[in-house]
Structure formats: C-alpha cells, structure tokens
C-alpha cells in the first residue's frame, strides 16, 4: 500500500537523497524519457549522483536528450519512477526488476496508478509527468537549463499530441511557456511530429492497403498481420501511432486498428468520435479503456476478429442513432 504524498514531500525526499536511480516504463515514450532525463539533469545540477534505467532501448528519435544511462557503477540508495502507472510496465530487461520491487518514490499522472511505490505523487489532471516536473524542478532549487527544457517540452508535447488532445489544459500551456524559455520548440516539433521512420511509413502503406469501410463509411478498419509488422520492422510507439489513422478520415465515427500478435491473436484498438463510446465497444469483448480510445484482444483468424468487433461497432452506432432520435 502506497502513501500518497504532496509536492513539498516529493521535493524534500529528492533533496535528501543521493545515488538516485530513475526508472522509466518499457516501450519508452517521450514523456517517460523526457521526464527521467530532466529529473536526472536537475539532480546532477544539485551535485547529486543520478542515472536513468529503462528495460528497452531508447528510440533514436530521442537521441538529442543527454541521458545518463545507469551502468551499474553505483549502488542506488533511492529509486524514483517517472510516468510508470503499474509495476508490470517496467518491463523485464536490463535487470530493471531488481529495482522495480523497491521504488521509493513515484511521480506520475495516470489516475490508474496502482500504488506500487512506497510513496506516490499522482496528479491525473496533469497532461504529462513532464508537466509536473516543470514546476517540481524549480521547487527543488534547480534551474531549467535549455537541455532540461528540451526534455520537458518533449514529454508534454508528445503526451498531448502537440497540444491537440483533450488532456491539454491551461496548465499544460503554462508548462510549455516556461519551457520555451530554453527549448528550440520549432526544431523539436519538426523532430517529434514531422518526421517518420522508414519502418513507420512502410507499415502505414501496408495498413492503408488494408483499409475497409463499413456502415455507410462511418466505420473504417485497418489490419496488419504479424508477418507485415515484422517485415516493416515497426514497433512500440510508432506502431501505436497508426491507431489514429482510420478515425482521422472525414466522416468516420469509429476507427478500428487490428494488429496481429505473435501467437496469432489480434490486438484491436478502437478510436471513436463524440457520438459513440469506444469503451462500450471494447468492453463487450473483454477489453476496456476510455470513452474515445479503448482496446481489446480477440483470438482467431482475421475474418473472425473483424466480424466480432464489427458486430459490436454496429450495436454502438445503433445506440448512438437511437439516442440522437430520442433528443
């Protein structure tokens, strides 16, 4: 059972600590890497020994962040997790399990945080863990250098889809404004949002080839088989990004992305507009999520998987239509 702590406690714990190990989540994204690196730089600025550990390799697109990767050269006396909602999200590699069982402090913005750390600061109004660190770092007495600013901007910008998602608040923009003092936002945005890896483009082409429309074009579906995913070499966040494609088509209320897993089953991502509820659709197939974004898994061949999910989409579209008529 964790103790929920306030910001002041977080600051005092970090100031009292040394030989600090910062843990990120597996399949690292801009927020966990940006937050981890920013915190590490701030602690080093204060004369402390600190390093970052992640189960998986850091994607090359983030190589501008001056990350100190933990190399085992010190014995961690204090362990901090950033942007990690549950213990299973630490992953398995790089001996991360040795530390994941004894996390002293967790700084997170997921309301679903499972409370695996001894002490936890969770603020689910924050759009990103980096948004929290934007104020915590100055509260620790550290300066937001241009390098720290670039890391924090990366976290906030990537978790909000460049300030487009509904999690973006006035506080998020305030965080971005503070960061802009030192970060080259134009360059970062180009790097983060206007450049795609070769693998991602190949995967996108395969996905678009598979595009199908249903129910008067109100539902769009893309499907990638395991062999296609392997052939494209796309993984992690880039593969996840593809799930926004079908819903982005004009007039599409429900966007479905089917990705085959190694065992042959299908991971299905459901994205919906304002009339329908993605969670309603996914939940009936044993999944879950949020009203606009949800997911589930179905075993069987592609036709069975499509048939099963489309049936639930139809029910949800009918429900939305009935609701509209009743108004």
Q: Where along the sequence are the contacts to Mn ion (CB under 5 A)?
A: 31, 83, 128, 159
Angle at 108 between CA 104 and CA 113, to 5 degrees: 85
Q: C-beta of 84: minimal distance to Mn ion in Å?
A: 9
Give the relative orientation of helices 129-139 and 7-16 as an angle to the nearest 10 degrees: 60
Q: C-beta of 313: minimal distance to Mn ion in Å?
A: 29
Indicate the residue among 34 and 287 with the shorter CB distance to Mn ion.
Answer: 34
- Closest residue to Mn ion, judged by C-beta, is 31
Read out DSSP for 189-235?
HHHHHS---HHHHHHHHHHHHT-EEETTTTEEEEEE-HHHHHHHT--
CA proximity to 39, closest of 153, 112, 130, 159: 130
Q: C-beta of 198: minimal distance to Mn ion in Å?
A: 26
Placement of tokens 């998020």 in the chain: 172
Indicate the residue among 103 and 223 with the shorter CB distance to Mn ion.
Answer: 103
Indicate the residue among 159 and 238 with the shorter CB distance to Mn ion.
Answer: 159
CA proximity to 172, closest of 160, 184, 181: 160
Indicate the residue among 119 and 159 with the shorter CB distance to Mn ion.
Answer: 159
Indicate the residue among 150 and 220 with the shorter CB distance to Mn ion.
Answer: 150
Angle at 245 between CA 240 and CA 247, to 5 degrees: 115
Placement of tokens 């070499």 in the chain: 233
3-state DSSP call for residue 250?
A: coil
Indicate the residue among 33 and 317 with the shorter CB distance to Mn ion.
Answer: 33
Structural contact between residues 258 and 221, judged by C-beta atoms closer than 8 angstroms? yes
Q: C-beta of 82: minimal distance to Mn ion in Å?
A: 9
Indicate the residue among 103 and 281 with the shorter CB distance to Mn ion.
Answer: 103
Indicate the residue among 89 and 252 with the shorter CB distance to Mn ion.
Answer: 89
Read out DSSP for 168-190?
--HHHHHHHHHHHTTS-HHHHHH
Q: C-beta of 56: minimal distance to Mn ion in Å?
A: 16
Q: C-beta of 110: minimal distance to Mn ion in Å?
A: 7
Rounded CA gap, 182 and 187, in Å? 12
Structural contact between residues 69 and 43, judged by C-beta atoms closer than 8 angstroms? no
Q: C-beta of 165: minimal distance to Mn ion in Å?
A: 11
Q: C-beta of 31: minimal distance to Mn ion in Å?
A: 3
Going across the sheet that includes 78-82, the strands are 3-4, 119-122, 105-108, 78-82, 20-23, 50-53
Structural contact between residues 85 and 112, judged by C-beta atoms closer than 8 angstroms? yes
């Amino acid at each position: 059972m964790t103790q929920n702590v306030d910001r002041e406690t977080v600051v005092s714990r970090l100031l009292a600590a040394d030989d600090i190990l910062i843990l990120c989540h597996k399949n690292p994204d801009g927020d966990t890497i940006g937050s981890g690196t920013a915190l590490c730089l701030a602690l080093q600025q204060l004369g402390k020994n600190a390093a970052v550990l992640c189960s998986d390799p850091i994607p090359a697109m983030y190589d501008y962040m001056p990350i100190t990767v933990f190399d085992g050269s010190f014995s961690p006396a204090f362990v901090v997790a950033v942007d990690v909602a549950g213990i299973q999200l630490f992953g398995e590699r790089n001996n991360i399990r040795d530390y994941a069982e004894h996390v002293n402090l967790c700084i997170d913005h997921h309301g679903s945080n499972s409370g695996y750390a001894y002490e936890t600061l969770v603020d689910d109004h924050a759009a990103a863990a980096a948004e929290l660190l934007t104020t915590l770092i100055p509260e620790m007495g550290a300066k937001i250098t241009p390098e720290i600013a670039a890391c924090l901007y990366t976290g906030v910008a990537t978790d909000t889809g460049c300030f487009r998602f509904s999690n973006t608040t006035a506080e998020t923009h305030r965080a971005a404004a503070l960061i802009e003092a030192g970060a080259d936002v134009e360059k970062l945005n180009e790097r983060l949002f206007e450049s795609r890896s070769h693998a991602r483009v190949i995967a996108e082409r395969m996905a678009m080839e598979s595009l199908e429309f249903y129910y008067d074009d109100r539902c769009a579906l893309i499907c990638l088989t395991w062999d296609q995913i392997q052939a494209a070499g796309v993984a992690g966040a880039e593969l996840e990004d593809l799930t926004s494609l079908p819903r982005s088509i004009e007039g599409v209320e429900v966007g479905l992305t089917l990705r085959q897993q190694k065992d042959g089953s299908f991971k299905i991502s459901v994205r919906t507009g304002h009339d329908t509820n993605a969670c309603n659709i996914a939940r009936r197939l044993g999944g879950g999520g949020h009203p606009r974004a949800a997911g589930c898994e179905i075993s069987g061949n592609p036709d069975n998987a499509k048939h099963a999910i489309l049936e639930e989409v139809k029910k949800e579209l009918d429900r939305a239509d009935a609701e509209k008529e009743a108004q």
